[in-house]
Structure 1
């Protein structure tokens, strides 16, 4: 790098003496640096100092296996002395002979002769006992059972009304109703045992039979509740 020492670059106020001093100092510094470079040894200029590492191999002896501990033999057990066997003392039992008692003769018993009057009375009692049992047995009367009746003309039961929708569509069928006829002669309960295949016909039959009157079933002369099967037929030909 060179310094521009031309006069125009200098300040107008700079003096010629100061400029000369500055030039002298710069030249002196350059000379000192050049001389110090020449005095430096060539070995230090080219190669840097290298550190040398020395490696030495040291043999290490392998650890010797520790000696196995000596086997400890358990102390021998001394055999225990055998205890003398104690034999049970068996006592001799002398058999006892029992004397059988001699049979004593039974005393003679006097046998009484049967009396003829008592012998004759026994058959007469045997003959009269069946007759007495027959007369003592109560007489069982079988009461006649009469089923309920819904076909009597005097009952004046109306026929079911044929629904107009069923007529217009040509629906026909037979409804089997299961009716509980009370002792008062009215329908206590009406159930459909077998449908006609059309619900509108089944409903018409049920509603009609609910208004009917009946002759109740009887046990003898007593009216009782009973179930009866009543068929209702819906036919367009009637």
Structure 2
């Protein structure tokens, strides 16, 4: 401080002090204003809204759902071609089996008998003798007919039913016999009945146990039909 200032009047000093206080006050106010301005949030800016119009086309209508497909019409089955008819096979004519000619005379092993109380019964007159010429053999070869009267066969004599004896039944049965290659009777049929069922059955039962000499063709045994006569005579 200069000597002039030391001895300056008191009024001048107070004026400077007042100025300094005012400056400090202004500085404080400015600082406060700055601080208060920083703490205040910024005011929002109002931006005018812009209306934008946009034409939106209506959605196109959905296409109609496709109709369900009709089921395929079943095709009729194709007709199966018929196979050509088979060619007719040439029919081979079967050679007829030779048949033995019925023997009109009583068989050597035919049963005989007598009836005690019954009157004698006249036998029917014998049929005309068969032709001596043997039947013509088929064109297939030489044929030898079966036989039942060979001594070694030992065929039993037919039994005479006792009831038929008492009732005076008698007659002649012709049996048609299928003789196998082994000489056995395979099938027996009644060709001519005696007129009495009991006598017919007795003849069949007896012949079923017989053995035969088989028929042959060209020396080879072959199944053939054979006629067997059975006489039932009361004496």
User: What TM-score, normalized by structure 1, do the two folds share?
Assistant: 0.40
The structure whose RCO (Cα within 8 Å, separation 6+) is larger is 2
